[in-house]
Amino acid sequence: MSTATLHPRQPLTKPPHNPLPPVLHTPTGLALLELQGSINTGEGSASELTAGAITQVGRLDFPEYVAGKSEDGGSWMKRVYLYVGTNQRLTGEIKKLPRPVAIIRRRRTGDLDDDEVEMQDSGGDELEVVEVVRYKLVFSQRPEPVSTAAS
């Protein structure tokens, strides 16, 4: 049986540059995305996309969120838009998860690169909590057509 040591999230003195795409940033931190159906981005089929290619699915918009004035659990969570391409909009809402989900990653030790860390046989992995996800974005309605002239 393998073991892993789990470390709590380290307190930050200043917020770091977030390497995640801006589409994953929400006012409440990271969130899960729940879609009822599939997304047609118009960029070809899955077989045409190369491994490692980045496809922008869409843009999240929180129309009722006001920075500094909106609190967690406020009315701004009742409406969120996901714009897909230039002519589709999904309307959804933010829902609290029944149980929070921890996002963990393998802790880096020293100046080793990823391949060297995997090659080491140290009695167990070192893991750390990156973020705790407490909300999900739920899009359960059909997409609405939108005009590109409005942007």
Q: Among the listed ranges 45-54, 102-111, 121-130, which one has the minimum average pLDDT value?
A: 45-54
For the chain, give every domain's residue range.
21-39+55-99+133-150
For residue 34, what pLDDT is reported? 80
Burial annotation 39-70 (CB, 10 A radius, 16+ → b, else e): beeeeeeeeeeeeeeeeebbebebeebeeeeb
Q: State the maximum Cα–Cα separation within the chain, in Å, rounded to a whole number.
A: 59
Region of poorest pLDDT, from 63-67, 91-95, 134-138: 63-67
Mean pLDDT value across residues 74-85: 83
Share of the chain above pLDDT 90, in %: 1
Return the higher-pLDDT residue of 43 and 40: 40
pLDDT for 146: 82
Q: Which residues contact 64 (CB under 8 A, 6 or more apart)?
A: 70, 75, 76, 78, 79
Which pLDDT band holds residue 98 (cuts at 50, 70, 90)?
very high
